[in-house]
Structure 1
């Protein structure tokens, strides 16, 4: 939605109502989870936080196997 022409300002305004303040208020080591590409991009650009997709978070917790 936010990447479409004419939607940027609305997208930022909606994010500023709850999402961005909550993410900015997280302790430094808190994990931010967002499944949508646009949501992760917006969090990175507007809050300076890298959000993980659920699959990335789950994969990071799997035991590593030696080849």
Structure 2
């Protein structure tokens, strides 16, 4: 069974390693992934929060808000996951490895499948 996913490629991975191996793994796992854009991951530094959120609002945050309730939200970088969770999206992103592990445990919930992972909130 395939499941849609909104994917946020980590900035460093995108710039240096590309995402070919991850895309192939998602394809083989039945995840239909679409890139939701790049945003800054430097929002933890003093004076960068507002700019980081403005960048997020140009791509990743609206894409996550528009993600269907039954679709996965994937982001491998900690800063990416934090920005998604704290950016008013109402969603929590999973690492690709978490999503694959959850798939081994059986069917995921129909709405907000990330709730099957028992990782504590970053807030």
The TM-score range, normalised by the shorter chain, is: 0.7 to 0.9
Q: Greater share of helix residues, 1 or 2? A: 1
Residue 63 of structure 1 deviates from its aligned partner by 5.5
TM-score, normalised by the number of residues in structure 1: 0.84
Q: Does 1:57 align with 2:94?
A: no
What stretches of structure 1 of length at least 5 have no aligned partner? none
Structure 2 length normalisation: TM-score? Answer: 0.48
Q: CA deviation at 1:62?
A: 2.6
| Backbone CA RMSD of aligned residues | 1.5
Q: What does residue range 15-54 of structure 1 map to in structure 2 within 5 Å? A: 15-46=56-87, 47-54=89-96
Displaced runs of 4 or more, over 6 A: none
Aligned residue pairs, count: 64
1:14 correspondence with 2:62: no
